[in-house]
């Protein structure tokens, strides 16, 4: 595999270490584990990582920044492009030090068989972005409040469970802009087997309202109904083992207990196993 850091014009960026006399291209190749390390690099708007793979359908453990937790992702094709989130709209939805400073370590490795086969949260992806990048799981929605990054669908699978406030990090969530037909989709990029769904509602009461009911639809068209309560705690729902390529959370019914028009979702976890090795 080969990882390269490009600028907005498609030129390879360079870095420098403390004891180097010259700058060097930030490009690396390897078979199972690669990394880019540098002590003198400033990220700029438009920069992006491009990973090229010799094979399709690869499970990888990635960490592209010190502020992002390592994450198991699935790359269906043989290329993954990650646009570094430096646009002004992204600032409030990620840690203040994300992609800042001059010293950086970027790591990508092939996942071990036991990591792939383990029972786990299959929807977790700390490196998901608003648009599809070629890495899965990926979250999308038919509405995101004001196109504000603190309310993007990807926030519901980033592993951050802070839900007693709303807005900037660490309280980012999926916001629905008061739209009654709001739907959120998690695309796994391959067939997985799920037997539990966990929903964490945003609980910034009394600013927030909450949903009392929702429906999970699977890729074969089958659906299951979930009943929610007013709580800040994650709510778990066991389901009969289901093989699916994606799931959609829809038919969300708002409580009439509160006059607030603002229900929102902090996390949606889907627990199970990978079927494809």
What pLDDT score was predicted for residue 91?
87
**pLDDT over 90 for what percent of the chain?**
98
Q: What is the mean pLDDT of residues 229-256?
A: 98
Going from the C-alpha of 99 to that of each of 8, 33, 83, 106, 250, the distances in angstroms are 16, 21, 12, 11, 34
Average pLDDT of the chain to the nearest whole number: 97
The phi and psi torsions of 146 (rounded to 5 degrees) equal 55, 20
| Helix H or strand E segment including 115 | helix 113-117
What pLDDT score was predicted for residue 60?
98
What pLDDT score was predicted for residue 253?
98
Strands (E), the chain: 2-6, 14-15, 24-25, 27-29, 33-38, 48-52, 58-63, 71-75, 79-83, 104-110, 120-121, 135-136, 138-141, 174-175, 184-201, 211-218, 223-227, 235-254, 264-274
Q: Is it the case that residue 277 has pLDDT exceeding 80?
A: no
What pLDDT score was predicted for residue 243?
98
Q: How confident is the model at residue 210 (pLDDT cuts 50, 70, 90)?
A: very high
Q: How confident is the model at residue 209 (pLDDT cuts 50, 70, 90)?
A: very high
Q: pLDDT for 142-152, tens place per residue?
A: 999 999 999 99
Q: Is it the case that residue 69 has pLDDT exceeding 90?
A: yes
Q: What is the mean pLDDT of residues 109-128?
A: 97
Sign of CA dihedral 268, 143, 148, 86: positive
Q: Is it the case that residue 276 has pLDDT exceeding 80?
A: no
Tokens, residue 102: 């001059």
Q: How confident is the model at residue 95 (pLDDT cuts 50, 70, 90)?
A: very high
């Amino acid at each position: 595999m080969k990882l390269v850091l490009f600028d907005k014009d498609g030129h390879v960026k360079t870095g420098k270490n403390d004891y180097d006399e010259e700058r060097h291209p930030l490009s690396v190749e390897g078979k199972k584990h690669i990394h880019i390390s540098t002590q003198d690099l400033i990220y700029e708007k438009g920069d992006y990582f491009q990973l090229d793979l010799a094979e399709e359908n690869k499970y990888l453990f990635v960490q592209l920044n010190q502020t992002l937790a390592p994450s198991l992702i699935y790359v269906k094709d043989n290329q993954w492009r990650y646009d570094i989130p430096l646009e002004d709209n992204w600032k409030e939805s990620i840690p203040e030090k994300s992609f800042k400073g001059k010293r950086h370590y970027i790591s990508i490795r092939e996942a071990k068989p036991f990591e792939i086969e383990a029972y786990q949260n299959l929807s977790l992806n700390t490196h998901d972005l608003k648009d599809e990048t070629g890495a899965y799981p990926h979250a999308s929605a038919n509405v995101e409040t004001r196109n504000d990054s603190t309310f993007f669908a990807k926030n519901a699978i980033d592993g951050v469970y802070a839900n007693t406030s709303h807005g900037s990090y660490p309280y980012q969530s999926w916001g629905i802009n008061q739209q009654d037909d709001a739907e959120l989709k998690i695309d796994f990029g391959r067939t997985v087997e799920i037997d539990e769904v966990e929903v964490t509602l945003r609980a910034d009461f009394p600013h927030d309202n909450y949903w009392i009911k929702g429906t999970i639809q699977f890729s074969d068209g089958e659906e299951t109904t979930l009943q929610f309560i007013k709580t800040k705690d994650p709510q778990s729902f066991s389901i009969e083992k289901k093989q699916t390529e994606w799931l959609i959370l829809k038919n969300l019914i708002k409580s009439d207990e509160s006059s607030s028009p603002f229900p929102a979702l902090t996390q949606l976890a889907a627990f199970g196993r990978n079927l494809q090795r």
